[in-house]
Structure 1
Amino acid sequence: MMLKDKIANAPSKLTVSYRVLLATVGGFILTLIFTVFMPELFLWSFGWNKATSLMWMMLLSFGVYCGLIMWIIATRKLLKTSLILLLCGIALTIGFTQLQSHNSNQPTSTEVTS
């Protein structure tokens, strides 16, 4: 009887396929948006060099991507997770375009090494 109950509660192939697709593609897209958003935010708020911030965010993006994959696979409510990913992606994209237009008006400082 226990095995029959476990089989009845198992997720369908479509649910598992959607979860894997959302984790790989959706997680990658959100990680990419987050990776390009953060250097713009750091430039606006702290005045950090954008190239250095982008390099650090590219290194940290591996951890962000792994965390997103684990969260998407482990969550119970797949529709809510999809909606959260979509809204976060839209918010980060809007924030990136706003910060990019704000930061393009600021003069850039060049570093001179001797």
Structure 2
Amino acid sequence: EAGGYGMLVGTQSTSEERAEFAEKIKANPRNYIAQPTLSLSRVPTIIDNKFEGCHVDLRPYILYGKEIYVHPGGLTRVAMKKGSLVVNSSQGGGSKDTWVLSE
């Protein structure tokens, strides 16, 4: 558990894990937030020299000033464990550079 807080993905947890997490929340509710489970896209990702279909979350680079420029590509947060929805690097996710190739 990063920072002593941890994370629980309700749809991928057991009833025992949910009960244990409920006790942690009751003991210190200010340390937790809830959010809906997102339906993340999956893309072929090279992990351990083979392709895996991993859930991803694209973070584009946008320059905002007098004009707005959206860079082709960005940083993609990747769920590093097969089937996982966790892309947060402090909870076991990772990241990959993302490039958009065009003429």
**TM surpasses 0.5:** no
Q: Which has the larger radius of gyration?
A: 1
More strand by share: 2
More helix by share: 1
Query: Scaled by the length of structure 2, what TM-score is found?
Result: 0.24
